[in-house]
Amino acid sequence: MNQDDIRALVITAIQSVAPEITAEDIEPDEDLRDTCDLDSMDYLNLLSALKKSCGVNIPETDYPKVRTFTGMVDYLNKHLT
């Protein structure tokens, strides 16, 4: 899976919890929860969606690493290979 595939995957997961968000709305280096207006339940659902779609289980201790869209894509990239 290349970087673009992972990006698409994350966007799909975000849209599963925040259907009105488009790729253009996402500020890659801003806090994902702020830019996409995700509460703690949304965020948990986002991680559930990612676990389902790519099998990566992001533990709570790694939440700081996946704070931004870029961080999330990098994290998945690292854990998928």
Partner 1 sequence: MARQSFDIVMPSLGADMRDGTLTEWLVAEGDHVSKGDSIAVIETNKGAIEMESYYSGTINRLLVQPMLTLPVGAILGTIDADSNTETDAEENADADIVTDNEQPVSQSISPPIHNEPPIVPVVSTAPATETSVRALTSQRLASPIVRALAQQQQLDLRGISGSGPQGAILLKDIQTLLQAQSAASSPSEAATAAPSSKAVTPKTATSSRDSNAMREAIAAAMEKSKREIPHYYLSHEIDLSVAKQWLSQENAGRDPDDRLLLTALLIKAVAILLPRFPALNGHYLDGRFEPAPAIHIGTVISLREGGLMVPAIHHADQLSLNDTMLALRDISQRSRTGRLRSSELTDATITLTHIGDRGSDSVFGVIYPPQVAILGFGRLRQSPLVKQGQINICDTMTVTLSADHRVSDGIQGAKFLHALSQQLQQPELL
Task: Tally the residues of the chain.
Answer: 81
Q: Which residue in 5, 25, 29, 39 binds partner 1 (CB under 8 A)?
A: 39
- Regarding 64 and contact with partner 1 (CB under 8 A), the answer is no
Burial of 3 (0-12, 13-18, 19+ CB in 10 A): exposed
Q: Can residue 18 be called a binding residue for partner 1 (CB under 8 A)? A: yes
Classify residue 61 by its DSSP letter. G
Residue 54: strand, helix, or coil: helix
Stretch that binds partner 1, among 2-10, 15-23, 66-74 (CB under 8 A): 15-23
Distance between CA atoms of residues 33 and 79, nearest Å = 22
Q: Can you tell me which of 30, 48, 67, 77 binds partner 1, judged by CB under 8 A? A: 48
Could you list the residues that contact partner 1 (CB under 8 A)? 15-16, 18-20, 33-34, 37, 39-41, 44-45, 47-48, 50-51, 57-61
